[in-house]
Amino acid sequence: MPVEDRRSRAGARRSGARDRITITRWSLGLSLTLALTVVTAAFTLVWNQTAVLGETQMQLVASVGGLDARVTGLDQRVTGLESEVRGLRTEMREEIGGLRAEMREEIGGLREEIGELADLIRERAPEEAEGR
């Protein structure tokens, strides 16, 4: 084979290679490096967000623990207030019962006094009628 034929074939191969995609070690290494960089960046972002989420979760757990303690304290205070209100209601009912009994006695005493005054008025009324 003549040297010119070889060159023309090599030239044809080179010109045909321009029309197709040629993957070289350099371009493959560059593509893999870019892909690994993107994956590493994504993993780093996910890792950071997971760490932030963990910190937020710990803060929420601490806040819930504090709220739970406060709610327990409030529950105890409400229970104490309920028992005090029951006691006050009992005292109030007893006081009202006592006041009603006193009012009945006073009204009974007033009725007796009014009856006595009415008797006195009746006794005087015939005497005054005769004196006229």
pLDDT class of 125 with cuts at 50, 70, 90:
confident
- Structural domain containing residue 115: 3-130
The model's pTM: 0.44
pLDDT at 46: 96
Please report where in the chains the tokens 């950071």 appear, as a residue. Answer: 48
pLDDT class of 25 with cuts at 50, 70, 90:
confident
The full length of the chain comes to 132
Cα–Cα dist 54/8, whole Å: 67
Cα–Cα dist 43/81, whole Å: 56
pLDDT for residue 4 is more than 60: no
Q: What radius of gyration do the chain's Cα atoms show?
A: 54
Query: How many CA atoms, within 13 angstroms, populate the side-chain half-sphere of residue 14?
Result: 6
pLDDT at 13: 54
How many domains, in total, are found in the chain? 1
Quote the tokens at residue 42: 């994504």
